[in-house]
Amino acid sequence: MKVVITVVGVDRTGIIAAVSQIMAEHQVNILTINQVILDGIFNMAMIVDMDQASVNLGTLQQLLKEKGDTLGVEIRAQNMEIFNAMHRVG
């Protein structure tokens, strides 16, 4: 299953490292990552593959929420099919 992970918040050192560490610890493969900082606001999107993951999506969502709370950013993880359906135009 492919999952879209988004991270938004005030920029600080270590955000990418912290999110990537969670992926590595749970065998979640990062397929693509894009990040930008606009006027001090960090915004990142990742597409990951959970086919070999050692956790399910619900557990990953909880781990990311907890890490986001620690970092002061909002981290969300959604099934890519649901994400695409929610953001389809027209």
Instruction: Quickly name the fold that domain 2-86 has.
Output: Alpha-Beta Plaits (3.30.70)
Q: What's the confidence (pLDDT) of residue 90?
A: 59
Cβ atoms 68, 77 nearer than 8 A: no
What residue spans define the domains of the chain?
A: 2-86
**Residue carrying the six token digits 């990311």:** 64
Q: Which two tokens stand for residue 4?
A: 């879209």
**pLDDT values of the chain reduced to their tens digit, one per residue, 90 residues:** 999 999 999 999 999 999 999 999 999 999 999 999 999 999 999 999 999 999 999 999 999 999 999 999 999 999 988 776 776 665
d(CA 31, CA 44): 14
